[in-house]
């Protein structure tokens, strides 16, 4: 439904089918629509691995088809300072970050929003599968109706003031419908494959990319009971729960079941692994957060019982959030597998995403 107070909208057009259809739907609703293509990576090797030039061409094709103006903006400096340096810092500290979440906060709903306002826009729009609601006069973040594509998990760091100036045209429709709309409108992007991963890594092996920026620091791989099993290439290359690429199979006096990363001992630079996907060391009942981000801008009354997800597309998990002396503790009704420092836990009340935080570690203290 068209918001009467909103006239000009600038859509973040990535060259994909989702943002293409977002622009089309808003145009059909009678808005004055323009597009903006963001360039966020400016390294010399970017063109070899990143599809930015192809994506720009697709965005231009869609803009021409719709008869709308397409702006371009280079946010590479902001991306480097606010997203990529964070990405490197987290990996160098042994954690596994999610740069998409920080990119949404710093680039799409800050740098892009500010730029769009300078261009005279009343609001921005993106192709995210999420919805915007309202509560007590503030904009709220709601899950997308297509549960298989709901992207609220990646948007929990976007505050109510930014949501107030944002639209998510795809929040109430499915991915299948989006492709059907694009095909009917003869948009070039209708059958374009969804992008996966991070642009600046592209088709390269993750390890090859990371070691160009961070020095490798090999160390020992040991079992939970302390047995030496081999050498790892650097803790930053592994994530909690990982199975592949450990190189510790076929050991004498060991059963044949696969090994999994259970822990990173940063003080000893040791990778601790266990056998069996259901090993107790892979499961924890609580985690700790240094800080929480609340979309409303206000901390809810704690303790708080709500739902949570510790990874994208995970079914909702019942939890309780409490505030201790200098951190938040999140306790789950059911033990969670592979709680990963650096990743995010995101909180929900029914269909409303209320906030979340970056996982610092597990917390089994009573």
Catalytic residues: 103, 199
The string of DSSP codes covering 60-71 is HHHHHHHT--EE
Closest by CA position to 342, among listed 298, 310, 320, 307:
310
Please give the span between the terminal C-alpha atoms of the chain, in angstroms, as a whole number. Answer: 49
Distance CA(273)–CA(243), nearest Å, equals: 9
Q: How far apart, in whole angstroms, are the C-alpha atoms of residue 137 and residue 130?
A: 19
DSSP designation for 341: B
Strand 293-294 and strand 352-362: pairing?
Answer: antiparallel
Query: Around 338, how many Cα atoms within 13 Å sit in the side-chain half-sphere?
Result: 17
Provide Rg for the chain, Cα atoms: 22
């Amino acid at each position: 439904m068209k918001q009467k107070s909103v006239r000009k909208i600038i859509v973040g057009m990535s060259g994909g089918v989702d943002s293409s259809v977002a622009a089309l739907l808003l145009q059909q609703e009678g808005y004055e629509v323009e597009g903006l293509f963001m360039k966020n990576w400016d390294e010399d090797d970017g063109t070899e691995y990143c599809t930015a030039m192809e994506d720009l061409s697709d965005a231009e094709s869609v803009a021409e088809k719709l008869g709308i103006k397409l702006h371009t903006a280079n946010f590479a400096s902001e991306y480097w300072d606010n997203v990529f340096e964070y990405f490197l810092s987290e990996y160098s500290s042994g954690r596994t970050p999610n740069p998409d979440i920080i990119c949404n906060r710093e680039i799409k709903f800050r740098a892009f929003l500010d730029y769009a306002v300078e261009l005279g826009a009343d609001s921005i729009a993106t192709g995210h599968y999420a919805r915007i609601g309202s509560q007590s006069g503030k904009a709220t973040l709601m899950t997308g109706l297509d549960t298989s594509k709901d992207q609220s998990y990646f948007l929990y760091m976007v505050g109510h003031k930014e949501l107030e100036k944002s639209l998510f045209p795809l929040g109430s429709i499915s991915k299948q419908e989006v492709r059907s709309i694009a095909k009917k409108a003869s948009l070039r992007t209708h059958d374009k494959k969804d992008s996966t991963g991070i642009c600046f890594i592209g088709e390269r092996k993750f390890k090859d990319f990371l070691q160009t920026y961070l020095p490798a620091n090999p160390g020992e791989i040991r079992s939970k009971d302390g047995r030496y099993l081999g050498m790892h290439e650097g803790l930053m290359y592994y994530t909690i729960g990982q199975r592949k690429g450990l190189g510790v199979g076929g050991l004498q006096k060991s059963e044949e079941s696969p090994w999994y990363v259970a822990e990173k001992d940063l003080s000893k630079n040791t990778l601790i692994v266990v056998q069996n996907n259901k090993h107790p060391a892979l499961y924890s009942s609580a985690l700790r957060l240094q800080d929480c981000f609340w979309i409303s801008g206000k901390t809810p009354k704690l303790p708080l019982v709500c739902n949570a997800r510790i990874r994208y597309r995970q079914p909702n998990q019942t939890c309780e959030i409490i505030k201790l002396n200098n951190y938040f503790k999140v306790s789950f009704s059911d033990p969670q597998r592979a709680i990963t420092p650096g990743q995010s836990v995101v909180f929900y009340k029914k269909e409303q995403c209320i906030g979340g935080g970056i996982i610092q570690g597990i917390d089994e203290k009573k």
